[in-house]
Chain A
Amino acid sequence: MSTFFELSRAVEGGKRNDAKQITQSLLDQGIKPLEVVEQGLVPGMSAIGEKFKNNEVFVPEMLIAARAMKECMAILEPLLADAGIKPKFTAVIGTVQGDLHDIGKNLVAMMLKGANFGIVDLGTNVPPEKFVAAVQEHNAQLVCLSALLTTTMPAMRTTVQAVRDAGLTSVKVLVGGAPVTQDFCDEIGADGFSQDAASAVDLALRLAETY
């Protein structure tokens, strides 16, 4: 008998093979996929996210844990879709035009999935109009923009502008990435900035509620 606690521990410890095995065995025990996510994966990622915020764990451990969760989600996502489980909110995410660094963006996407967001991941080097089109197509509440270079930060400004110009006034734009600051976020008229992936989830939830 596997337990949710074991799954949380395996995710937190980045033990992807254990985590996948436990996920499968929980499903085999007849537990619903959504419960596996909410009671197994999410507590594990939240625990490590919390430690990350407190500087008790660092980027490498965070990425290793996120990969463990991602591989479990790969098992669970089709089952969730089959069961007709609809995420409460939808977020469009991508790295802005000119930026190819996506490891941070992928981490945030994974964390948001764990928080029951529907994720439309546009990948890297995404032009403003593509963000706009995706928001419209998927009725997303959030757009998450990532930039890792000071040279690509200006593309965040143009993307925010494009979202506003398209009349998507109630959509919330989140920005993040190593060189991004709260000041920059305010300056370009984005709705929120977070320092790390764990805080991004809290922020996303808060902003989505006010959509």
Chain B
Amino acid sequence: MNSDLIEIEAAESSSISLTDLLARRGHPLNARCGQRGLCRGCIVDLVGGELIDADGGKVVAGASVRSCRMRLPEGGRAVLRIHSQARISRAPQVGETFFIDVPCELAPSISWETGRDTGFAVDIGTTTVVVLLADLKTGEVLARAGDFSAQIRYGDNVITRIGAASSPATRLEMRRALVEETLAPLLQKACKRASREISRLAGGTIAGNTTMLHILANEDPTSLGIAPFTARFLDGRILQSDDIGLGGAMPIRLLPGLSGYIGADITAGVHATGMTLDDMPSLLVDMGTNGEVVLCANGRLVGCATAAGPAFEGAGLSFGTRAQDGAVSGIRFRLDPFLLETESIGGHAGLAGICGSAYIDFLATARDSGLLRENGRFDRAKWAEIPAQHRIENDEGFSFRLAGNDGPSISEIDIAHLLQAKAAIGAGIETLLTATGIRAAEIGRVYLAGGFGMHIDVPYAIAIGLLPGFRAEQVRVVGNTSLAGALLALLDRAALVEMESLRSRIEVIELNLQAGFEDCYIDHLSLP
């Protein structure tokens, strides 16, 4: 089951490119070379039907093609798989796409009847909320909608949110902000997109981190902020929509969590990736402010959370931003001969800032070319070889300017912050593997989840040690698996049982208490 499989039929004029046709049908692709057939930004898999290539030749199912070089035959149809990387991101980037690789049966966990036959699956993140509507009769995904959470105004990180929610009155206000200002409008938007009355909603499922679900259930999350991070509940409870201010007299199932800081979002990911069914050891890495890592090997399920901080989401960096229109999302850099290319979201000028994926590109390519030393400093001799317009030297130190006179730049302080974030994740993965006696090479598959993970260049992430010791072939980018798991729990009640059973299996490792973690973390502060 792949959420990105779409069917498309020819336009009136058969001369337009498949890229243009897809854009018209609401699937804009990353045509960063301007549809010149030079880049690999718009590659799609042809799953069914036929296409005509630039020379007029026929292309049949099974091929991967640059859609800018293709068109549909007159009156023709084609079934395409669009890879997440090929899609142009739009603001806000909320990880609406994902990959599901587990058997799923249509036996909804929410009961339905004619006239009330639509279910919703929700991922409530600390930063963003994504909603997906599905037909409970057919299992078809009808519409998606996502937005930043209105709860952000109570703090942009989970710890601040826990602090705020320890006051019962504030906790209710926080729930109201989330439900009434974000969730309800998103459900309305999704219903509108699906052309269904809101009264057809029968209920839904919600995945999210443990803190978000505590606030939603009006449970005091205070203990989640203090070791040993005990949750007041982890079981998959059922809320009534009226009780949380959503209205509509519907049941809402919260997905079960695994531990205080390995929440239902990760349960969802473990299930949706199908990693527990793999024959070889597998690893789930959910890249976010708290990068969670779960290893499944030899019948064991071991997890930890890393304190990565929000650097890769752009926070605390001089030009850092979340993925949004106009943000630089990719950088190609070479010193000799000098080359600097940037890609930006939505094809705009790239003045809105720099997002995490671009910082990773820069760390990898600048290190490879020798401009960056292993300590994250610009090599002073190589620095002098860079064209003057890219060099900023002032009281703040050295900064590499990407473009323009006041365009975004990357400073050595930014790099230090990024190194700390990548060290937290890299050392977390390595420590977890060491603690369980598994080597990176023994892992069959690394499932890289999360909105940010969706856009990173995997070989570069490996090169800088963010995914230490892996090969690109091991890594599968799986997108928002929290949402994927919520959808599975909605459509297949057996999934919920499966998820509940994961909790009794999980062993949680506290990284800070692992001998050797600090040493490993300090090792990872350098660039390989």
Taking beta carbons and an 8 Å cutoff, which residues of A are in contact with B? 14, 55-56, 58-61, 63-64, 67, 97-103, 106, 124-125, 149-152, 155
Give the distance to chain B from A126, nearest Cβ to Cβ, in Å.
11
Known: A61-B375, A150-B160, A152-B226. A101 touches B307 (CB 8 A): yes
Give the distance to chain A from B303, nearest Cβ to Cβ, in Å.
16
> Can you list 29 pairs linking A and B with CB atoms under 8 Å apart?
A14-B375, A55-B397, A58-B416, A60-B375, A60-B376, A60-B525, A61-B416, A63-B522, A97-B227, A98-B225, A98-B226, A98-B227, A100-B510, A100-B513, A102-B518, A103-B518, A103-B521, A106-B518, A124-B227, A124-B512, A124-B513, A125-B227, A150-B160, A150-B163, A150-B225, A151-B159, A151-B162, A151-B226, A155-B226
Tell me which residues across on chain B come within 8 A of A67, comparing CB atoms: 519, 522
* In the complex, B412 has a CB within 8 A of chain A: yes
Give the distance to chain A from B85, nearest Cβ to Cβ, in Å.
30
Tell me if A151 and B307 are in contact (CB < 8 A): no
Tell me which residues across on chain B come within 8 A of A59, comparing CB atoms: 416, 420
User: When the two chains form the complex, which single residue of A56, A97, A103, A149 contacts B225, counting CB atoms closer than 8 Å?
Assistant: A149
Tell me which residues across on chain B come within 8 A of A56, comparing CB atoms: 397
Tell me if B512 and A102 are in contact (CB < 8 A): yes
> B141-165 CB contact bits vs A (8 Å, 1 = yes)?
0000000000000000001101100
Give the distance to chain B from A128, nearest Cβ to Cβ, in Å.
14
Known: A58-B416, A100-B512. A63 touches B525 (CB 8 A): yes
Q: Report the Cα distance A176→B225, complex, angstroms.
A: 18
User: When the two chains form the complex, which single residue of B160, B225, B525 contacts A64, counting CB atoms closer than 8 Å?
Assistant: B525
Tell me if A150 and B159 are in contact (CB < 8 A): yes
Q: Report the Cα distance A63→B518, complex, angstroms.
A: 10
Give the distance to chain B from A11, nearest Cβ to Cβ, in Å.
14
**Shortest Cβ distance from B377 into A: residue:** A61
Q: Report the Cα distance A142→B302, complex, angstroms.
A: 40
Q: Report the Cα distance A99→B159, complex, angstroms.
A: 12
Taking beta carbons and an 8 Å cutoff, which residues of B are in contact with A? 159-160, 162-163, 222, 225-227, 307, 375-376, 396-397, 412-413, 416, 419-420, 423, 510, 512-513, 518-519, 521-522, 525-526
Q: Report the Cα distance A55→B513, complex, angstroms.
A: 30
Tell me which residues across on chain B come within 8 A of A125, comparing CB atoms: 227
Beyond contacts A55-B396, A60-B526, A64-B375: 10 other A-B pairs, Cβ-Cβ < 8 A, are: A58-B416, A60-B375, A98-B226, A100-B513, A101-B512, A149-B159, A149-B226, A150-B160, A151-B159, A152-B225
Known: A58-B416, A151-B163. A100 touches B376 (CB 8 A): no
Tell me if B159 and A58 are in contact (CB < 8 A): no
Tell me if B525 and A151 are in contact (CB < 8 A): no
Q: Report the Cα distance A196→B396, complex, angstroms.
A: 18
Q: Report the Cα distance A60→B376, complex, angstroms.
A: 9
Q: Report the Cα distance A98→B412, complex, angstroms.
A: 34
**Shortest Cβ distance from A56 into B: residue:** B397
Tell me which residues across on chain B come within 8 A of A55, comparing CB atoms: 396-397, 413
Tell me which residues across on chain B come within 8 A of A14, comparing CB atoms: 375
Tell me if A60 and B423 are in contact (CB < 8 A): yes
**Shortest Cβ distance from B418 into A: residue:** A60
**Shortest Cβ distance from B414 into A: residue:** A58
